[in-house]
Amino acid sequence: MERTAFEPFGEQLVSGTDAQPKSRASKLLLRAGTALFWSLVAGIVLARATFFEPGIYDGFSRVASLAKSLIF
C-alpha cells in the first residue's frame, strides 16, 4: 500500500508520475488545449488594444460627480 503525502495545509500532494499524461492522444489533447487557450488570450489582448477608446469612461466620471453632488 502506498502512503499518501500531504502538504502543511492539508492538500494532497500528487506525485510526478501521476500528473503527466500517459498516452500520446492525451499529450496531443493537452498541447492542443493549451495552444487554444493561449491563442484566445492573445486574441483578446490584441482586440482590446486595437479597439480601445480612451474617452469611453468619461461619461462615468460625469455620473459619479453628479451622484457625489447629490449625496453630499
Q: What is the mean pLDDT of residues 13-24?
A: 66
> According to the model, what pLDDT value does residue 1 have?
45
Weakest-pLDDT range from 10-14, 25-29, 40-44, 53-57: 53-57
User: Which of 19, 46, 21 lies closest to 31, judged by CA?
Assistant: 21
Question: Each residue of 38-67: pLDDT tens digit?
Answer: 999 999 999 988 887 777 667 778 888 888
pTM score, two decimals? 0.48
Q: Residue 19 above 70 pLDDT?
A: no
